Amino acid sequence: MKYLLLFLTPLFCLSQTIWDGPEITFTKANNANYNLQQNQDRITNSVWITRGNTGSSIFNIFSENSYIPGTSPVGTLWAIGSLNSNNLSFNDFRAFDGNNKNKPPLNQELVLKITNGTTNTNDDIHVKVFFTSWSQGNNSGGGFSYRRSTDPSLNINHIEKNEIVFFPNPTTGLVRINQDIFSQLCVYDLTGKKLLNSNSSSVDLSPFKNGVYLIKLYRRDTSNWVTKRIVKF
């Protein structure tokens, strides 16, 4: 049955949600703490990609504690090809490139299918992924990096090169920043109370109640503070 579904996959490509928005780069450094949010690519509310530090492969830390060959990352399937291809053949991460290995091909265009835990192809999301680095060997530190496309509805197109953009806004929790040119980030409520400090390119507002928050960050390039309003709902 599994192979029948894989065979039929190309027939349903036109029903997928295609993420062809601006690309972002995600990097997990060697030996970085994969339990920290900044070392997880939280692509959706239930797909958080990271990698352990012992040389294993990537997994979905939202629903897994570590990598499991043939299963991880849960909620994803992978294919070699491009977003506009009508002939993609999806499989698990270990097997999708035919090499049955726990690492991806580098510098090759791939498509990540986020299945959202259902068998309804209308729920699936197609994301372009391009791995650029991968630390190999036991105790390698688990570093890796890739570029990927984003949800075009985030509306971060046509921005100035060094403009700071927080997205999505409004948000249900996780807010990303499109630039890595700041050294400190603070979140305040509207009374001026500081709620958290961070130096990550994303911040999670899910622990806080719905409302309006101020995010202030210090830009290294201009040596000044930037303040943005974020609505959480």
Q: What is the mean pLDDT of residues 101-124?
A: 85
What is the pLDDT confidence band of residue 122, given thresholds at 50, 70 and 90? low
- Predicted confidence (pLDDT) per residue in 191-206, tens digit: 889 999 888 878 889 8
Flag whether pLDDT at 153 surpasses 50. Answer: yes
- Is residue 179 within 8 A of residue 162, CB to CB? The reply is yes
Residue of 8 and 142 predicted with greater confidence? 142
What is the pLDDT confidence band of residue 131, given thresholds at 50, 70 and 90? very high
In percent, the amount of the chain with pLDDT more than 90 equals 45
Size of the chain, expressed as the number of residues it contains: 233
Query: Order of strands across the sheet with 41-42?
Result: 41-42, 48-51, 58-60
Q: What residues does each domain of the chain span?
A: 2-152, 159-232
pLDDT at position 172 is 86
- Predicted confidence (pLDDT) per residue in 13-24, tens digit: 446 789 998 888
Question: How far is the C-alpha of 59 from the C-alpha of 50, rounded, in Å?
Answer: 6
Residue of 165 and 101 predicted with greater confidence? 101
pTM reported for the whole predicted model: 0.65
Question: How far is the C-alpha of 78 from the C-alpha of 107, rounded, in Å?
Answer: 15
DSSP secondary structure code for residue 91 in this structure: B
Q: What is the mean pLDDT of residues 104-112?
A: 95
Identify the burial level of 46 via C-beta atoms within 10 angstroms of its C-beta, where 0-12 means exposed, 13-18 middle and 19 or more buried. middle
Flag whether pLDDT at 161 surpasses 60. Answer: no
- Predicted confidence (pLDDT) per residue in 25-71, tens digit: 888 989 999 998 788 898 988 899 999 998 899 999 999 999 999 99
Pick the CATH number of 159-232 from 3.30.110.70, 3.10.129.10, 2.60.40.10, 3.40.140.10: 2.60.40.10
- Is residue 177 within 8 A of residue 162, CB to CB? The reply is no
Q: Where are the alpha helices (DSSP H) in 42-189?
A: none
